[in-house]
Chain A
Amino acid sequence: MGASTMRSLRLLLPVMILGVCHAGWAQSPTYGLGRTPSAEEIRAWDIAISPTGKELPPGSGTAKEGAQLYAQKCAACHGASGSGGKAPTLIRSKSTSTASAPGNEQPCLAPCVREGNVMALHSPYATTIWDYINRGMPFLQEGMLKPNEVYGLTAFLLYKNGVIQEDDVLDAQTLPQIKMPNRDGYAIPEWKPGMPRPFSAKP
């Protein structure tokens, strides 16, 4: 048991090491490898937000609060109006193209950022937006946003794209209930190992 906790080389990135003994000495039964992470460690890592919203932390925000944050933290890359910056368009409007500014196109995102398809709106669930802002934005300063700020920015983007009202309060309960425009726009096919790929008579 002691040997694994005294391992000196930790190359797994990024690892939250508390440096104290943890309750629960479970290890992998067959090979005796691994350590049990604490509940706090798991909570800190558990940033994938289910469409049910069960991993959402406490907090709340509105579009008004988000507007200020957007100007401070997002506009530099995404454009003051939500488009025309070097980063993908976030706010759809009739007059703006939904592609990144010419010369700044990112080839991998191009298939998803088409006319009328503002990236953030394509998800059937608003939790995806919260998840992504929280885990990855602002680019190169990830992790600086507090939950309230993420709720505010999510509310701001949803308001500007016509999904919610300006005064709607987003929190862990209301966010998962938002009905996104593309709510029914996906199918999850069945998949089992070895099954043939399903082709009907369609060309």
Chain B
Amino acid sequence: MIHGMVDRPLEFTMEELKRFPSVSRIHFIECLGNHSKPEYKTVQETHGLTSCSEWTGVPLSLLLKEVGVQKGAAWVVSEGSEEVKGAGSIRLAKAMDDCLVCYGQNGEALRPQQGFPLRLVVPGFEGIYNTKWLRRIKVVDRYYMTYNDYGHIQKDEEIAALTFQWGPKSVITFPSRYLPAHWPGLVRRRRRSQGGSIHRRRPDLEGGPDSGGGTSKGAHPVWHGLEVGRTRVCTPVALHRRTGPGSTDASATRQTL
């Protein structure tokens, strides 16, 4: 159902929604909680609360034009039909931009845990806006401070803006913790203080990006230069364990995970 500050409140069946013109687009959905903590060790933990799918559905802007949004409307409240009927406020400008009312995911119907039969996809906004089990959109004139909303409010306007619009992120997924690189031919240059000789070694990646996990053992994850032939390749590796000033414990570098 779409109602509120509209000329024609309307209720659509699933069959009717599938008769509207549809688009299929690839979008990420990422949770606001997708960030690292000191105890996290793997990329799955530090960056894993996200996924990417091809979403198929009707542009919300098309549906809003069909119901006729009235002057003075500035927000929409989108609501789901699960037990707690999670609802959130979205700017009308975004609702009219690129939001999708989706029934398809990766070429098939939405899965139950993804909001079957209908969900909202709000590209580029934090995950909770992407209402699952969508049942209602109300067009309103203000921010409604729903349960979903108040859990994510920020006093600082700039920080608040970042929940509206995510930026790009990047992380090296391989090699990373528990995923060592076993590439023949990679060598590690010793630190200059040890004389600069080159040794063949299998790089064990004790630390991964973002991780401080090596420090408890005395090794430090750093960006370390490796030479592949004459090409310098940088990858995060653990330093050798220190056994004394100016020396390295070579055996430590052969730890396997």
Contacts and interface: CB of A to CB of B under 8 A. Distances in A.
A34 B11 contact: yes
B145 A128 contact: yes
A50 B20 contact: no
Given A12-B11, A132-B84, A142-B84, A48 B146 contact: yes
Interface string A16-31: 0000000000111111
A136 B81 CA distance: 10
Interface in B173-209: none
A31 B20 contact: yes
Interface string B75-109: 00101010111010001011001100000000000
Interface in B32-51: 32-33
A50 B140 contact: yes
B161 interface: yes
Contacts of A187: 153-157, 160
Interface string B199-234: 000000000000000000000000000000000000
Contacts of B1: 37, 41-42, 45
Given A11-B117, A142-B84, A131 B11 contact: no
Interface residues of B, number: 59
B136 interface: yes
Interface stretch (B2-10, B22-30, B242-250): B2-10
A123 interface: yes
A47 B94 contact: no
Contacts of A111: 32-33
B72 interface: no
Contact of A136 (B10, B12, B14, B147): B147
Nearest to B167: A197
B80 to A, nearest CB: 10
A73 to B, nearest CB: 15
Nearest to A108: B33
Contact of B135 (A12, A26, A42): A12
Interface string B148-168: 011101111110111011010
A67 to B, nearest CB: 23
A199 B97 CA distance: 22
B19 A31 contact: yes
Report which residue of A13, A14, A42, A202 has the largest number of chain B beta carbons within 10 angstroms of its beta carbon. Answer: A13
A186 B19 contact: no
B12 A12 contact: yes
B138 interface: yes
A46 B20 contact: no
A124 to B, nearest CB: 6
Report which residue of A4, A50, A108 has the largest number of chain B beta carbons within 10 angstroms of its beta carbon. Answer: A50
A128 B3 contact: no
A198 B85 CA distance: 32
A7 interface: yes
A175 to B, nearest CB: 13
B239 interface: no
B54 interface: no
Contact of A45 (B136, B142, B145): B136
B16 to A, nearest CB: 4
Contact of A47 (B85, B143, B150): B85
Report which residue of A12, A41, A47, A197 has the largest number of chain B beta carbons within 10 angstroms of its beta carbon. Answer: A12
A35 interface: yes
Contacts of A185: 153, 155
Interface in A33-57: 33-37, 41-42, 45-52
Report which residue of A9, A10, A48, A52 has the largest number of chain B beta carbons within 10 angstroms of its beta carbon. Answer: A48
Contacts of A15: 11
Contact of B146 (A12, A35, A108, A131): A131
10 contacts: A7-B13, A11-B14, A11-B15, A36-B8, A37-B10, A45-B1, A49-B144, A128-B147, A191-B93, A197-B162
Given A33-B66, A139-B84, A193-B94, 11 more contacts: A7-B13, A13-B117, A28-B8, A28-B10, A37-B10, A45-B3, A128-B145, A128-B149, A135-B84, A191-B93, A197-B165
